[in-house]
Structure 1
Amino acid sequence: MFSSIFKSSEPKPPPQNFRGTRPEEPTEPSKEDIGPLPPNIYVAPNAPAYKPAPNWLRMVCISDTHNTTDANNYPIPEADILVHAGDFTKMGTTAQVDQFICWLKSLTHIPIKVVVAGNHEVILDKEFYEQHWHRFHTTKEDYQAAVDKLKSAGHGIIYLNNESYTVDGAKLLHKKYQKQKKQSSTKKMTQPAGADAMDIDTSAVVELRDGWVEGYRIWASPWQPEYWEWAFNEVRGKLKDIWKHIPEDTDILMTHGPPKYHGDIVPEDKELHVGCEELLERLKVVRPLYHVFGHIHQGYGVSEIEWDGGSHSTVCINASTCTERYRPLNQPIIVDLPPK
């Protein structure tokens, strides 16, 4: 998809069948081994069964699912938070947005799902869609209706567009514990005499604000450097006007596209780095704990940027679920977050 984006200044129409697979193409292997990982970061399903402590948060990172995932072909492990870094549809239709929302609602084992759009979500970029809808859709659809669907979806779905969201970790864990406790009590009452009872370790009780000063602060943006003409594109050199709004107290940064030099290589373009240089410059100021993104499917994996000689670092996670051929083979990346 990105093999010739810098070889011509002429915009090209979106592919009609963006999967682009041919019968003779070989099956792609899944990337379950992506090399050494920083502490408390895992590739599913290789994460420990339990978090280091009950008051930690487990975060699942995915991106670029393109309406290809369901419970049968792409199981999502249990967690406290799911973050999705965009391109959740194929061609940004309202029906595809609905399909994505239904899938998120099915993830009842994850209380909070934080979502940002990507360049494929053309209907969510109002100005762009007004000018270019005919290149993507046969009939013009309702931008506001699509946005409202995401914002009012409920079920813990949080849609962000250059916005912040603070995860109230203590409240989230307390509610989750209460739900598990209720489920345990119900199962005990319905079990026959003598049956093994499912129980919850009472030491796992998480009281409100126990060990928490404030929740993790997430800021998310769908923008990326332009290529051809897709949604949420901006000319290189002007993206700093967007990135300057990233709050300096951001803990988890979500952008659809990568910063330069991290998860941004397109191999067929002679190892060309296509990430955003202005975003990298802003990272030097904000220095978030984690930066989750996607967009460049081939860049799936984890890297680190060290600050102040290694005393602090930002973990960069390209969580692209789909491979270059749009198959959902890359496993979710899991992060265990300690109390702040």
Structure 2
Amino acid sequence: MFLFKLSTYNWVPGLRVPRVRNHPRAVLHHLNRVPHWEEGTVDSVLAERIGAGTEDNPFVIYRDPHSIGTDSHKRLRFVCVSDTHNQIDKLTIPRGDVFVHCGDAVKYYSSARDLLKFNKFVGTLPHTHKLFISGNHCISINPERPDLTQEILSNMTYIQDQIIDIEGVRIYGSPWQLKRGLFYRAEAFSYAPENIRADKWAHIPEDIDILLTHSPPYSIRDHCSKSAEHLGCPGLLHEVVTRVKPRIHLFGHMHDGYGASLYKSEENQTLEGENSTSLSSDILFVNLAIDQGRRLGDPVVIDYFY
């Protein structure tokens, strides 16, 4: 039974920008870059244990947290970015096994031309696997023909509402975000807020290791400084923390929220409510939005043991 209701949203007349109201928020432990709209500091104990997300000190996540310290694991190193907006060639991209891009590689007004350039650049990267989901700036991508997009992005695997299995690690990617209205030109893969949970998020499978979306869940590194609002999706939040429970959720879209936080289910009974279980689940949430205005962020490196 969905907890999400139409009354979750207020609407700004004419703009139709969803404003979330009276909705539970996630309780988070920030591992780096405490969001400027929140009070608090980095959880130094967790940051010391999990890592910093850099090449020399990657985030270390285990599929089974109870197996930490044993030596019977495989490892995949993920190198992750989002929202590079035609600036990916300016980045120093660490080596790894899997390169992940969570959308908005281009800008909307030159999307068709620049996706070709992006594909050419990704072809130069040494990673064995390269994954891409779309974002709202990719207006030249036809949501009805992912096969055509795969032909254009020939140097990577294009993921649109599907699972990719890489050496036993199950990854699901979905590009959708809440529809913002006619005044926004970069509206690829936008979806009606009142339907997005049932039509899109409810189809995310539960048996996955890593979730890729372009947009963030509500209250998780989703703040917009211009509107002073949290613009993530409450339906996505509920599906991820109460049902899907991936070990890692990667996204971008909201540039102010760049950074990583850890969610611990036992601390958020208000959000999980009747769906909570006795089994605790930790989820690493990472906003990968590289474009930080006058400067660029760094790719995030994650070592996943399974």
TM-score after normalising by structure 1: 0.65
Counterpart position of 1:85: 102
Matching residue's letter, 1:232: F
Does the CA-based 8 Å contact 2:75-2:303 persist in structure 1? Answer: yes
Does the CA-based 8 Å contact 2:135-2:214 persist in structure 1? Answer: yes
Of Structure 1 and Structure 2, the greater strand share is in 2
Counterpart position of 1:246: 204
* Structure 2 unaligned spans of 5+: 1-10, 18-31, 35-41, 62-68, 268-278
Q: Distance in 2 between matches of 1:33 and 1:277?
A: 23
Give the 3-state SS of the residue equivalent to 1:9 in structure 2.
coil
Matches within 5 A, 1:33-182: 35-36=42-43, 37=47, 39-47=49-57, 55-70=74-89, 73-91=90-108, 93-108=111-126, 110-126=127-143, 145-150=148-153, 153-154=154-155, 157-168=156-167
Indicate how the Cα distance of structure 1 residues 321 and 38 shifts in structure 2: closer, same or farther if over 3 A, else same: farther
Give the 3-state SS of the residue equivalent to 2:302 in structure 1.
strand
Give how far 1:10 is off. 3.8
Deviates further, 246-255 or 220-229: 220-229
Give how far 1:7 is off. 4.8
Matching residue's letter, 2:203: H
Identity fraction in percent: 30
Counterpart position of 1:23: none
Does the CA-based 8 Å contact 2:80-2:300 persist in structure 1? Answer: yes
- Cα RMSD (Å): 2.8
C-alpha offsets along residues 29-70 of structure 1, whole Å, 9 cap, x if unaligned? xxx85644374443335426x999894211111100111121
Question: Deviation above 6 Å: which 4+ runs of structure 1?
Answer: 50-54
Give how far 1:233 is off. 0.7
Give how far 1:306 is off. 1.4
Q: Distance in 2 between matches of 1:246 and 1:38?
A: 31
C-alpha offsets along residues 66-113 of structure 1, whole Å, 9 cap, x if unaligned? 11121xx211011111111101111253221111111111112x1111
Q: Distance in 2 between matches of 1:94 and 1:328?
A: 25
Indicate how the Cα distance of structure 1 residues 38 and 7 shifts in structure 2: closer, same or farther if over 3 A, else same: farther
C-alpha offsets along residues 105-139 of structure 1, whole Å, 9 cap, x if unaligned? 1112x111111000001111346xxxxxxxxxxxx
* Higher CA-based Rg: 1
Q: Distance in 2 between matches of 1:332 and 1:264?
A: 19
Give the 3-state SS of the residue equivalent to 2:137 in structure 1.
coil
Q: Distance in 2 between matches of 1:65 and 1:259?
A: 20
Give the 3-state SS of the residue equivalent to 1:57 in structure 2.
strand
Does the CA-based 8 Å contact 1:259-1:275 persist in structure 2? Answer: yes
How many positions carry a matched residue from both structures? Answer: 244
Q: Distance in 2 between matches of 1:249 and 1:93?
A: 34
Give how far 1:328 is off. 5.4
Counterpart position of 1:317: 286
Q: Distance in 2 between matches of 1:313 and 1:253?
A: 14
Matches within 5 A, 1:318-337: 318-323=287-292, 325=293, 327=294, 329-337=296-304
Indicate how the Cα distance of structure 1 residues 334 and 143 shifts in structure 2: closer, same or farther if over 3 A, else same: closer
* Structure 1 unaligned spans of 5+: 1-5, 13-31, 128-141, 169-214
Give the 3-state SS of the residue equivalent to 2:235 in structure 1.
helix
Does the CA-based 8 Å contact 1:69-1:328 persist in structure 2? Answer: no
Give the 3-state SS of the residue equivalent to 1:106 in structure 2.
coil
Of residues 163, 173, 189 in structure 2, which corresponds to 1:232?
Answer: 189
Matching residue's letter, 1:322: D
Matched, 1:257 2:210: no
Counterpart position of 1:294: 252
Indicate how the Cα distance of structure 1 residues 144 and 78 shifts in structure 2: closer, same or farther if over 3 A, else same: closer
Q: Distance in 1 between matches of 2:54 and 2:13?
A: 39
Give how far 1:267 is off. 2.4
